[in-house]
Amino acid sequence: MSTTTDQIQGGGTCAELPERTLDRRELRDLVNDLAAHPEEWRDQVDFPADGGRHYASLYRDAYVDVWLLCWRPEDDTGWHDHDISSGAVHVVRGALRECNPRIGGEHLETVVPAGQSFSFGPDHIHRLTGAVDESVSIHAYSPPLWRLGQYSIDGTGVMRRVSVSYADELRPMDDPITSVA
């Protein structure tokens, strides 16, 4: 059964979504579709003069959660997971750097340029930073975010997880210079 979603905050309508948890492919299709319709989110883009990452909730229902995030190179989520939620990200401007931790080796680092997207399951741990000035991305999660795991990795490689609310802004719990390879 399908239902038409509510208005997203940019003023347009989100695509029809099923009344159930979306899988990774569906989430990726959703962020790709929204990226192709900037009239639905463009007015939410902001880079505050006082710095800091800007983010805006575009849509949330019982099954999906959609966000617009604006990044500068100094913006860093720190290591985190999305608890029980799968997710997808589409970079609409600039580029993001995604790092994945590697036990006993250098962390895997990928630069995701504008026009590209990626998806992940609830077991995915990563860290996102802006790779260039003024990057913009659209993120979708299903089920909607309620909790996230935030991680620190100490100098000996020990990883620790702390559960945080989705409403808390993610930031590094460790030294980003030594933790991001």
9 is a domain residue: no
Instruction: List the binding residues for Fe cation.
Output: 80, 82, 126
Report the distance separating Cα 160 and Cα 142, nearest Å: 25
32 is a domain residue: yes
Instruction: List the binding residues.
Output: 80, 82, 126
Task: Check residue 4 and give its pLDDT.
Answer: 32
Report the distance separating Cα 25 and Cα 17, nearest Å: 13
pLDDT at 6 over 50: no
Domain membership of residue 90 as a residue range: 24-165
Q: pLDDT tens-digit profile of 113-160? A: 999 999 999 999 999 999 999 999 999 999 999 888 998 888 887 888
Q: How large is the average pLDDT for residues 169-178?
A: 62
**172: which strand partners?**
none
Map 35-62 to HEC letters. Answer: HCCHHHCHHHCCCCCCCCCEEEEEEECC
37 is a domain residue: yes
CATH number of the structural domain spanning residue 106: 2.60.120.10
Q: Are 77 and 87 in contact (CB under 8 A)?
A: no
For residue 143, say if its preceding peptide bond is cis, omega within 30 degrees of 0. Answer: yes
Number of domains composing the chain: 1
The whole model's pTM is what? 0.84
Beta strand segments in the chain, E:
2-3, 17-18, 54-60, 65-71, 79-81, 86-93, 95-100, 108-113, 117-120, 127-130, 135-142, 147-153, 159-165
In which band, very low, low, confident or very high, does the pLDDT at 98 lie, cut at 50, 70 and 90?
Answer: very high
51 is a domain residue: yes
